[in-house]
């Protein structure tokens, strides 16, 4: 018999007590040498589960077989058993059963035949070990009442370990190692813990990590997560090969699908052959991707007192798919049932984060609503009633005109290069068609010289592509001059825009510089204003910056008229400072643009609400409040009814109001600004021409002074 066969027989040639445990047992059994931790004997289940072959069955060390179970862990566990044996065999004390020795350990199996992580729960049995002293004269507990010491110190292992001379003991016999595969249970436990800790399972990274764990537990190839929001379904799909994908479909499109059947049944739903029963577009996509069987986990919020519509009670569906038919069985269904509470909690937590990027002043209300939905309660509209609107803007005067000039300069430069190409080709090969093409290009360029329209930025480039650039391949055959002019043209257009963009690039950079300075200034003032009283603020940056503030008791319960008046005055001061920022840019960087600044006053409150169907965070509620919105959108173009000039003027602050009470309040603020040397004392005033049927608006205008305020801000 060869050496390998002898080794394997040794492992299987176990003592009677090991054979009595049953070679057919599902338990993994092994006899371990206590001094070396080398496996001496093992049952068939042990050998098969760990994947031993004839060639590697020799010198199997316990710590080499189990991950997460180091030599130090092994030593600590072994000494616990040895301590009990010393008390039994050396001091002849009956210490009974030590319950902490019965507590199993968990480790990950190192097994080449099993690429997926698997976990074992195991115990050590030391009853068949015997201990004797090597030097009988060494007694660590001489003069100590061990029974009394045990009653006080049994839980303090370190005190025992520090006292015992471990090298003075000889151990004989076998340690019995007993293990059982708990891979599924451990995967479920770890997955449940992971789900509870997640802020949102819908982020790509978290979704793929979830999928990795689900696919391992269910031996699946794909995973899906359907999130139900009213009549819309967000579908997230993933696999090890395709990565993360997402799409949206209507709940109605899934009406006859296996997903809705599972939701209606409110139980784990096994689909052995998807190709035979799938009817929805989503199911057809899965079949085309190779999915043949599905296991569906519907997550339904049950209400025992009321019948709830499916779109309200169904918060999501988790699914795993396999490329093989009939892949899932009752054991998979049991595992899926164990995950349902944690999956529901994860989706509820995700709903808490669906209101992202919410302004801190109103975040509390969105959190309330998220908490309601996480409990399965019907959604409520988020409304803030009786809040005061405060609109202001710093507008770049003439920005549209300057951009048109930049567009014109770029287009004329490109047409110059285009005409140079045609001229070079005509010199090489005079053709009547080219002469006519040149006349067309010249006429188009002359029109651009007179001025550009909004559509010219796109249409002029499209004209060149359709009437000139499509001939470049032929033109390159018309001599060196033609080739050079084409290279000049293409080189000038070699950028992201695919056209000459020099003047517009300078314009964009200038606007970006102004906007960055304005935004920085406004953010600094907003920090101060929030300290007066938290309020909602929405800011938009385009050709300048505009903002809308909402302040009131429904947003912050500490609200008072003092806070309102303080914030209104700070708003005016912030616009004055914005003007000074722009003046400094003109002086330091030679930026040519001038700025106009405006505040729109309304002393009556509005109601605002969050509409989840729009991108805006808040809309005004009811026709009573739309007047302010209409005026806000058009007021910067308002005209003085007498002078027919714009009410906003460069370097000036314009206040728009309706009532005498509003003017009296803001006249007081203007006096304060004069005192702080923010503005001049001269006030221009007048009425504003009707804006879309809205009349009665008036304005007051003051010049903003460039001098710095003494004492800072």
Q: What pLDDT, on a 0 to 100 scale, did the predictor assign at position 54?
A: 39
CATH number belonging to the domain at 185-352, selected among 2.60.120.380, 3.40.50.970, 3.30.450.40, 3.30.530.20: 3.30.450.40
Q: What pLDDT, on a 0 to 100 scale, did the predictor assign at position 112?
A: 60
Average pLDDT on 487-511 reads 92
Tens-digit pLDDT profile for residues 52-91:
643 455 667 776 777 777 777 777 777 878 888 888 888 8
Phi/psi for 171 (5° steps) reads -115, 135
Question: What is the distance of C-alpha 203 from the center of its chain?
Answer: 5
Higher pLDDT pick, 688 / 312: 688
Whose tokens are 């099993």? That residue is 114
Q: What pLDDT, on a 0 to 100 scale, did the predictor assign at position 608?
A: 86
Q: How does residue 486 score in pLDDT terms, banded at 50, 70 and 90?
A: very high
Rg (CA), the chain: 40
Average pLDDT on 352-357 reads 51
Tokens representing residue 41 in the block: 């004997």
- Choose among 649, 711, 648: nearest CA to 678: 711
Helix (H) or strand (E) holding 641: none
Is a pLDDT exceeding 50 seen at residue 2?
no
Higher pLDDT pick, 146 / 227: 227
Is a pLDDT exceeding 50 seen at residue 712?
no
The domain spans of the chain are: 3-181, 185-352, 400-499, 506-703
CB 582 within 8 A of CB 595: yes
Task: Examine domains 3-181 and 185-352 and report if their fold is the same.
Answer: yes
3-state secondary structure 140-206: CCCCCCHHHHHHHHCCCHHHHHHHCCHHHEEEEECEEEEEEECHHHHHHHHHHHHHHHCCCCCCHHH
Distances (CA, A) of 97 to 83, 634, 645: 13, 86, 98
Q: Output 608-611 pairs: Cβ under 8 A, ≥24 positions apart.
A: 608/383, 608/384, 608/387, 608/536, 608/550, 609/381, 609/382, 609/383, 609/384, 610/366, 610/381, 610/382, 610/383
Average pLDDT on 362-383 reads 72
Is a pLDDT exceeding 60 seen at residue 309?
no
CB 342 within 8 A of CB 192: yes
Q: What pLDDT, on a 0 to 100 scale, did the predictor assign at position 575?
A: 96
C-alpha torsion 597→603→607→608, nearest 10:
10
Is a pLDDT exceeding 60 seen at residue 165?
yes
Is a pLDDT exceeding 50 seen at residue 623?
yes
Average pLDDT on 600-618 reads 79
Distances (CA, A) of 136 to 91, 168, 573, 647: 12, 9, 92, 107
Q: What percent of the chain has pLDDT over 90?
A: 36
- Pair type for strands 222-229 and 232-239: antiparallel
Cα distance between residue 519 and residue 530, in whole Å: 16
Higher pLDDT pick, 180 / 458: 458
Average pLDDT on 654-678 reads 95
Lowest model confidence (mean pLDDT) among 229-238, 259-268, 315-324: 229-238
Q: How does residue 326 score in pLDDT terms, banded at 50, 70 and 90?
A: very high
Q: What pLDDT, on a 0 to 100 scale, did the predictor assign at position 441?
A: 95
Tokens representing residue 198 in the block: 């997640």
Average pLDDT on 272-281 reads 87
Is a pLDDT exceeding 70 seen at residue 625?
no
- Please, which residues have CB within 8 angstroms of residue 54's CB and are 6 or more apart in sequence? 4, 5, 7, 8
Helix (H) or strand (E) holding 698: strand 698-703
Average pLDDT on 481-485 reads 95
- Choose among 670, 680, 675: nearest CA to 704: 680
Q: What pLDDT, on a 0 to 100 scale, did the predictor assign at position 23?
A: 54
Lowest model confidence (mean pLDDT) among 140-149, 240-249, 349-358, 616-625: 349-358
In DSSP notation, 496-540 reads TTSS--HHHHHHHHHHHHHHHHHHHHHHHHHHHHHHHS--EEEEE
Lowest model confidence (mean pLDDT) among 11-15, 230-234, 618-622, 659-663: 11-15
Tens-digit pLDDT profile for residues 646-656:
999 999 999 99
Is a pLDDT exceeding 60 seen at residue 22?
no
Higher pLDDT pick, 42 / 684: 684
On whether the pTM is more than 0.75, the answer is no
Q: What pLDDT, on a 0 to 100 scale, did the predictor assign at position 98?
A: 67
Task: Identify the bridge partners of residue 294 per DSSP, sorted by sequence position.
Answer: 271, 321
Distances (CA, A) of 522 to 220, 511, 537, 551, 570: 53, 16, 11, 17, 11
Cα distance between residue 160 and residue 322, in whole Å: 54
Helix (H) or strand (E) holding 409: helix 399-428
Is a pLDDT exceeding 90 seen at residue 304?
no
Cα distance between residue 489 and residue 486, in whole Å: 5
Strand extents, DSSP E, 559-690: 594-600, 606-609, 619-620, 652-657, 684-687
Is a pLDDT exceeding 60 seen at residue 473?
yes
Is a pLDDT exceeding 90 seen at residue 447?
yes
CB 315 within 8 A of CB 300: yes
Mean pLDDT, the chain, whole residue set = 82
Lowest model confidence (mean pLDDT) among 357-371, 412-426, 585-599: 357-371
Fold (topology level) of 506-703: Alpha-Beta Plaits (3.30.70)
Helix (H) or strand (E) holding 105: strand 105-109
Tokens representing residue 495 in the block: 């950028």
Per-residue buried b or exposed e for 216-235, using 16+ beta carbons within 10 Å of the residue's own CB: bbbebbbbbbbbbbeeebeb
- How many helices and strands in the chain, by DSSP H and E? 25, 23
Average pLDDT on 431-455 reads 92
Cα distance between residue 207 and residue 202, in whole Å: 6
CATH number belonging to the domain at 3-181, selected among 3.50.50.60, 3.30.450.20, 3.40.50.920, 3.40.50.300: 3.30.450.20
Tokens representing residue 256 in the block: 């006859």
């Amino acid at each position: 018999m060869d050496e390998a066969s002898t080794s394997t027989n040794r492992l299987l040639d176990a003592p009677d007590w090991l054979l009595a445990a049953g070679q057919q047992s599902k338990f993994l059994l092994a006899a371990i040498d206590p001094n070396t931790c080398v496996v001496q004997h093992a049952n068939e289940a042990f050998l098969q589960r760990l994947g031993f072959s004839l060639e590697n069955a020799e010198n199997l060390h316990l710590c080499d077989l189990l991950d997460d179970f180091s030599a130090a862990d092994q030593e600590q566990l072994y000494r616990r058993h040895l301590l009990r044996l010393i008390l039994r065999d050396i001091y002849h004390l009956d210490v009974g059963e030590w319950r902490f020795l019965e507590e199993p350990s968990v480790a990950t199996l190192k097994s080449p035949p099993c690429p997926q992580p698997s976990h074992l729960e195991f115990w050590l049995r030391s009853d068949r070990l015997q201990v004797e002293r090597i030097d009988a004269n060494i007694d660590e507990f001489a003069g100590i009442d061990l029974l009394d010491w045990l009653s006080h110190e049994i839980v303090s292992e370190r005190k025992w370990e520090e006292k015992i001379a471990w090298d003075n003991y000889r151990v004989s016999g076998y340690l019995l190692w007993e293990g059982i595969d708990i891979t599924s249970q451990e995967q479920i436990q770890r997955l449940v813990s992971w789900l509870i800790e997640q802020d949102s399972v819908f982020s790509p990274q978290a979704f793929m990590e979830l999928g990795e764990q689900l696919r391992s537990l269910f031996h699946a190839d794909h995973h899906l997560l359907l999130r139900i929001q009213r009549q819309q379904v967000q579908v997230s799909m993933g696999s090890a090969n395709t990565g993360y994908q997402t799409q949206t479909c209507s709940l109605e499109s899934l009406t006859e699908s296996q997903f809705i059947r599972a939701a209606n049944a409110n139980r784990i739903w096994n689909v052995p052959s998807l190709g035979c029963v799938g009817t929805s577009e989503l199911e057809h996509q899965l079949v085309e991707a190779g999915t043949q069987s599905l296991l569906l986990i519907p997550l339904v919020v049950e209400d025992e007192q009321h019948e709830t519509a499916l779109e309200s009670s169904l918060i999501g569906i988790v699914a795993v798919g396999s490329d093989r038919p009939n892949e899932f069985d009752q054991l998979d269904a049991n595992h899926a049932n164990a995950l349902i509470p944690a999956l529901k909690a994860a989706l509820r937590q995700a709903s808490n984060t669906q209101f992202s990027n919410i302004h801190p002043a109103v975040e509390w209300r969105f959190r309330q609503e998220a908490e309601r939905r996480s409990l399965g309660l019907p959604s409520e509209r988020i409304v803030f009633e009786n809040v005061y609107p405060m609109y202001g803007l710093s507008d770049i005067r003439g920005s549209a005109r300057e951009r048109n000039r930049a567009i014109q300069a770029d287009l004329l430069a490109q047409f110059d290069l285009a005409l140079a190409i045609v001229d070079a080709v005509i010199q090489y090969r005079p053709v009547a068609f080219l002469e006519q093409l040149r006349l067309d290009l010249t006429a188009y360029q002359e029109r651009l010289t007179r001025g550009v329209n909004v559509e010219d930025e796109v249409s002029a480039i499209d004209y060149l592509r359709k009437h000139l650039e499509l001939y470049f391949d032929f033109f390159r055959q018309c001599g060196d001059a033609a080739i050079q002019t084409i290279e000049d043209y293409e080189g000038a257009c070699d950028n992201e825009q695919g056209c000459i963009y020099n003047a517009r690039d300078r314009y964009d950079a200038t606007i970006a510089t102004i906007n960055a300075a304005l935004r920085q200034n406004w953010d600094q003032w907003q920090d101060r204003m929030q300290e007066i009283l938290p309020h909602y603020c929405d800011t938009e940056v385009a050709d300048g910056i505009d903002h809308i503030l909402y302040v009131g008791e429904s947003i912050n319960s500490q609200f008072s008229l003092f806070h309102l008046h303080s914030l209104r005055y700070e708003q005016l001061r912030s616009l004055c400072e914005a003007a000074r920022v722009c003046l400094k840019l003109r002086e330091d960087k030679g930026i040519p643009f001038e700025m106009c600044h405006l505040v729109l006053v309304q002393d009556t409150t509005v109601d605002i609400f969050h509409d989840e169907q729009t991108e805006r965070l808040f809309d005004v509620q009811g026709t009573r409040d739309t007047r302010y919105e209409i005026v806000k959108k058009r007021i910067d173009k308002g005209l003085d009814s007498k002078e027919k000039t714009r009410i906003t003027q460069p370097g000036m602050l314009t206040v728009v109001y309706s009532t005498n009470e509003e003017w009296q309040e803001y006249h007081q603020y203007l006096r304060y600004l004069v005192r702080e040397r923010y503005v001049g004392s001269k006030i221009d005033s007048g009425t504003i021409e009707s804006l879309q049927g809205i009349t009665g608006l008036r304005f007051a205008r003051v010049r903003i002074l460039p001098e710095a305020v003494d004492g800072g801000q």
